[in-house]
Structure 1
Amino acid sequence: MTSLAPTGFGERSATPPPGIGPALLDALLRQLPPSADRRSARAPFTGDRLPAVPQSDPLAVAAAATTARAAQARWAETPVGDRERVVRRFARALIAHERELCDLMQWETGKARVHAAIEVQGVIQVATYYGRTGARHLEPRRAASAVPGVVTARVTHRPKGLVGVIAPWNYPLFLAVGDVIPALVAGNAVLSKADSQTPLTLLSARKLAVDAGLPAALWQVVAGPGSRIGPAVIDAVDYVSFTGSTATGRDIGRRCADRLIGASLELGGKNPMIVCADADIEAAATGAVQACFSNAGQMCIGIERIYVHQDAYPRFVAALVERTRRLRIGPGYTYDVDMGSLTSERQLETTVGHVEDAVTKGATVLTGGRPRPDLGPLFHDPTVLADVTEDMLVFAEETFGPVVSVYRVDDDDAAVRAANTGEYGLSASVWSRDPKRGRAIAQRIVAGSVNVNDGYLSAIAALGAPMGGMRTSGIGRRHGREGIVRYTEPQTITSQRIPIAYPDRFRATLLHALNLGNRAKLFFPRR
Structure 2
Amino acid sequence: MTRTIDIGVFTTAQLLDAIAPSDGGRDILDPATGAIVGRAPERTTAELDAAISRARAAQRSWAQLGHRERSSYLDKAADAVDANSEALAELLSREQGKPLNGPNARFEVGACSSWLRTTASFEIEPEKVVDDGVGHAELHYRPLGVVGAIGPWNWPMMITVWQVAPALRMGNTVVVKPSEYTPLSVLALAYVMNTVLPPDVLSVVAGGRDIGEALSAHEGIDKLMFTGSTATGKAIIRSSADTVKRLTLELGGNDAGIVLPDVDVKAVAQDLFWGAFINTGQTCAALKRLYVHEDVYAQVCDALVEVAASMPMGIGLEEQNVLGPLQNRTQFDIVAALVETARESGATVLVGGDPATEQAGYFYPTTLVADIDNSNDLVTHEQFGPALPIIRYSTIDEAVAMANALDVGLGASVWSTDIDKAREVAARIEAGTVWINKHGAVDPRVPFGGSKQSGYGLEFGVEGLKQLGAPQIISY
DSSP 3-state at the match of 1:329: coil
Q: Quote the residue 1:476 is aligned against.
A: 457
1:69 maps onto 2:52 in alignment: no
Q: Deviations over 1:434-488 (max 9, x none)?
A: 111111111111111111011222xx02x22210110111111110112111111
Deviation at 1:49, TM superposition (A): 2.8
* Secondary structure at the counterpart of residue 237 of structure 1: coil
| Matches of 1:216 and 1:363, distance apart in 2 | 56
- Aligned residue for 1:113, secondary structure, equals coil
Query: Aligned letter for 1:25?
Result: L
Q: Give the Å deviation of 1:357.
A: 1.2
Q: In the alignment, what sits opposite 1:515?
A: none
C-alpha separation between the residues in 2 aligned to 1:155 and 1:211? 35
Superposition map of 1:311-350 within 5 A:
311-350=295-334
With normalisation by structure 2, the TM-score equals 0.94
Query: 2:4: which partner in 1?
Result: none
Counterpart-to-counterpart distance in 2, 1:315 and 1:372: 28
Which of 456, 466, 469 is residue 485 of structure 1 equivalent to? Answer: 466
Does residue 430 of structure 2 align to residue 446 of structure 1? Answer: yes
* Structure 1: gaps spanning 5 or more residues: 1-17, 496-527
Separation (CA, whole Å) in 1 of partners of 2:77 and 2:316: 28
Corresponding residue for residue 211 of structure 2: 229
> Which amino acid is the alignment partner of residue 81 of structure 1?
R
The answer to whether residue 97 in structure 2 is matched with residue 110 in structure 1 is: yes
**Over residues 268-289 of structure 1, what are the superposed CA-to-partner deviations in whole Å (9 max), with x where a residue is unaligned?**
1111111111111012221121
How far is 1:208 from its partner? 2.1
Q: What is the one-letter code of the residue matched to 1:100?
A: A
> Which residue of the other structure, out of 129, 137, 143, is the alignment partner of 2:118?
129
SS at match of 2:133: coil
Quote the Cα distance in structure 1 between the aligned partners of 2:438 and 2:37: 36
> Secondary structure, in 3 states, of the residue corresponding to 1:400?
coil
Distance (Å, rounded) in 1 between the aligned partners of 2:105 and 2:424? 34
Supply the distance in 2 between the matched residues of 1:24 and 1:123 (Cα, whole angstroms). 17
CA contact (8 A) 1:275 1:309 kept: yes
Q: Supply the AA of the counterpart residue of 2:12.
A: I
| Cα RMSD (Å) | 1.6
Equivalent residue number for residue 366 of structure 2: 382
Q: Distance in 2 between matches of 1:387 and 1:432?
A: 22
Contact 2:329 2:362 in 1 (8 A): yes
1:94 equivalent among 67, 74, 81: 81
Letter in 1 for 2:17: D
Higher mean alpha-carbon deviation, 64-73 vs 44-53, is at 44-53
* Counterpart mapping for 1:14-163 below 5 A: 19-21=11-13, 23-29=14-20, 36-114=23-101, 115-133=104-122, 136-137=123-124, 139-144=125-130, 148-163=132-147
**Max Rg structure:** 1
Unpaired runs of 5+ in structure 2? 1-9
Matched, 1:220 2:203: yes
Residue deviations 1:78-98 (CA, integer Å, cap 9, x gap): 121000011011112222221
In 1: Cα distance, 2:453 partner to 2:366 partner:
27
Q: What amino acid sits opposite 1:249 in the alignment?
A: G
For 1:354, what is the secondary structure of its paired residue? helix
Return the TM-score normalized by structure 1. Answer: 0.85
Which AA in structure 2 matches 1:179? Q
Letter in 1 for 2:341: D
1:224 alignment partner AA:
G
Measured at CA, do residues 282 and 390 of structure 1 come closer, stay the same or move farther in structure 2, by a change above 3 Å?
A: closer
CA shift for structure 1 position 150: 4.8
**Cα distance in 2 for residues equivalent to 1:485 and 1:107:** 35
Aligned residues: 463
Name which of 370, 386, 389 aligns with 1:405: 389
Q: Percent identity?
A: 35
| 1:201–1:264 CA distance, 2 compared to 1 (3 A) | same
Letter in 2 for 1:473: S
Find the counterpart in structure 2 of residue 204 from structure 1. 188
CA contact (8 A) 2:348 2:370 kept: yes
Q: Is the 8 A contact 2:301 2:370 kept in 1?
A: no
State which of 275, 281, 286 in structure 1 corresponds to 2:270.
Answer: 286
Question: Counterparts of 1:321 and 1:233 in 2: how far apart (Å)?
Answer: 45
Deviation at 1:400, TM superposition (A): 0.5
Note if contact 1:144-1:152 (Cα within 8 Å) is conserved in structure 2: yes
Distance 1:20 1:209 in 2: 15
